[in-house]
Amino acid sequence: MTQDNLIEVITENRLPHYEPYGWHHWPEHPWLAYQFRRGLGETQEGGGAVSEVFQAASRMIPGDLESWHKEWKHIGDRNWDRGEEADSKGHVRTAMNCFLRAADYYRQAEFFLKPNDPRRLPTFERMEACSHRFLLSLNPAGEIVDIPYENGVPICGYFVRSPYPIDRQPVLICMGGLDSIKDEMWFMQARGALQRGIAVLMIDGPGQGGTLRRHGVPNRVDTEVPIGKCIDWLEARSDIDPSRIAICGSSLGGYYAARAGCYEHRLAACIAHGAIWAITDLWGEASEDHGLAEHIKWVFGCESMKESMQKAKDFTLDGHLDSMQCPFLVMHGGHDVLTVSQAQKVYDYGKSKGKDVTLRLLSEEETGAEHCQHDNPTIGQEILGDWLADRFGIDQRALLKSSSTGFSL
């Protein structure tokens, strides 16, 4: 089995090269190389153009976070301006493409800014503005939603119906993890679901995206509570099938989704897209110089890594996975640079408790072997989309014939 924490390893080959987990652009700066690999992969789902992404990288100073922000923002601004011009001329499809690319470029530009950096929230909200321009142009149009949560604070989200003629559609609740957000879910989960007749609710839960940035809400261990609020909101709609609501969580969201699936029994299926057995097994010894220390402390609402990991002790599936009642997919890269052993542990424990659990480890040969299939998110969307369509009893051939538009995204 591949060793854990490869993301900390500087390879012998210091030139840009290909590894089992994908393109490794800056071997001497593995955290930045990982994030670049993530953005590069999302180009194939509409989150960028390959040439623009490499152009930005060529202008960055390796290891310099200011140039990282500057160059991603530059290509984000360029696509925003091009999208505005195209829209003014009625070139709606070009505008949509530009805004979708810009959204992911701004996400990258925001990524390494410190939580208190005055540029962080404006960059994040420019990313959201791009997402809004794209989603509102879809047919049917996406919805920008605030789901009632606690103390007057909403869960920020996007709801999109699939364009197929299904009155009451099944739904996938899509959520990220430590640093992935609702806007990125289009490139990781949502598009594949929509292509298969499944509506999506992409959310920023506690400790994520707009719910953290605008409202200061940190994460919580009992994710069944915010997911329960999302299901309440969905059940109040007349256009969804309440018996076919599933959840998928990416990265740390693999823990969030699984925990919700253990106790929120209205969920008909659960997907851990990058599985986490216990956070402290992964980061328990991490110090203040960890590559994501600032973000971890922000998400956990703590002042130090020590305090964060004290809170994180409760974030484990041990003793909880026993309560899972729905079908459960663990989808994981076989060369995940964070961990592979945790996925195996989640699967083995679930099987030992007689759960309906499937493990899908992606290999180097097929690609998609990186964390959350960042090297090839298309194969990740295909696997999770097909698994969910099968569980929901969706006949994909019949579905395609039901559309007069020859729908594609």
Q: Which of 137, 169, 204 delimits the end of a domain?
A: 137
Residue 197 scores a pLDDT above 80:
yes
| Mean pLDDT to the nearest integer, 95-103 | 98
- Is 8 a member of any domain? no
Three-state DSSP at 111 gives helix
Closest CA to 337 of 17, 14, 35: 35
Cα–Cα distance measured from residue 166 to residue 305, given in angstroms and rounded to the nearest whole number: 48
Cβ contact 204:223 at 8 Å: no
Q: How confident is the model at residue 333 (pLDDT cuts 50, 70, 90)?
A: very high
Question: For residue 351, what are the CA distances in angstroms to 31, 106, 336, 344, 399?
Answer: 34, 41, 22, 11, 33
Split into its structural domains, the chain has a count of 2
* 238 and 337 assigned to the same domain: yes
- Is 117 a member of any domain? yes
* 165 and 30 assigned to the same domain: no
Q: What is the b/e burial string over 195-226, where b = at least 16 CB atoms within 10 angstroms of the residue's CB?
A: bbbbbbbbbbbbbbbbbbbbbebbbbbbbbbb
* 209 and 338 assigned to the same domain: yes
* 53 and 130 assigned to the same domain: yes
Cβ contact 26:39 at 8 Å: no
pLDDT of residue 406: 45
* 65 and 85 assigned to the same domain: yes
Cα–Cα distance measured from residue 138 to residue 334, given in angstroms and rounded to the nearest whole number: 35
* 133 and 93 assigned to the same domain: yes
pLDDT of residue 408: 55
Q: What is the DSSP string of 43-104?
A: GGGTT--HHHHHHHHHTS-TT-HHHHHHHHHHHHHHHHHHHHHHHHTT-HHHHHHHHHHHHH
pLDDT tens string 153-196: 999 999 999 999 999 999 999 999 999 999 999 999 999 999 99
**Residue 58 is part of which domain span?**
15-137
pLDDT of residue 2: 66
Q: Which of 137, 156, 177 delimits the end of a domain?
A: 137
* 71 and 166 assigned to the same domain: no
Q: In what order do the strands lie in the sheet with 153-160?
A: 143-150, 153-160, 199-204, 169-175, 240-250, 269-273, 328-333, 357-362
CATH code of residue 103: 1.20.1440.110
* 254 and 397 assigned to the same domain: yes
* 252 and 204 assigned to the same domain: yes
Closest CA to 104 of 82, 134, 81, 64: 134
Report DSSP state, residue 4. Answer: S
pLDDT tens string 127-156: 999 999 999 999 999 999 999 999 999 999
Q: Which helix (H) or strand (E) holds 41?
A: helix 30-42
* 130 and 166 assigned to the same domain: no
- Is 99 a member of any domain? yes
- Is 167 a member of any domain? yes
Cβ contact 313:319 at 8 Å: no
Three-state DSSP at 212 gives helix
pLDDT tens string 44-70: 999 999 999 999 999 999 999 999 999
User: In this structure, what token pair is assigned to residue 242?
Assistant: 């309440």
| Mean pLDDT to the nearest integer, 301-325 | 97
Beta-bridged to residue 250, according to DSSP, are 273
Cβ contact 137:95 at 8 Å: yes
pLDDT of residue 409: 65
| Mean pLDDT to the nearest integer, 256-283 | 97
Q: Which of 83, 106, 137 delimits the end of a domain?
A: 137
* 75 and 111 assigned to the same domain: yes
pLDDT of residue 100: 98
Report DSSP state, residue 10. Answer: P
pLDDT tens string 17-45: 999 999 999 999 999 999 999 999 999 99
- Is 152 a member of any domain? yes
* 171 and 131 assigned to the same domain: no
Q: How confident is the model at residue 407 (pLDDT cuts 50, 70, 90)?
A: very low
- Is 264 a member of any domain? yes
Q: How confident is the model at residue 404 (pLDDT cuts 50, 70, 90)?
A: low
pLDDT of residue 3: 73
CATH code of residue 274: 3.40.50.1820
- Is 199 a member of any domain? yes
- The overall average pLDDT reported for the chain is 96
pTM greater than 0.85 (yes/no)? yes
Closest CA to 231 of 211, 203, 206: 203
Return phi, psi of residue 408, to 5°: -150, 155
- Is 7 a member of any domain? no
- The percent of residues above 70 in pLDDT, for the chain, comes to 98
Cα–Cα distance measured from residue 137 to residue 169, given in angstroms and rounded to the nearest whole number: 20
| Mean pLDDT to the nearest integer, 79-87 | 98
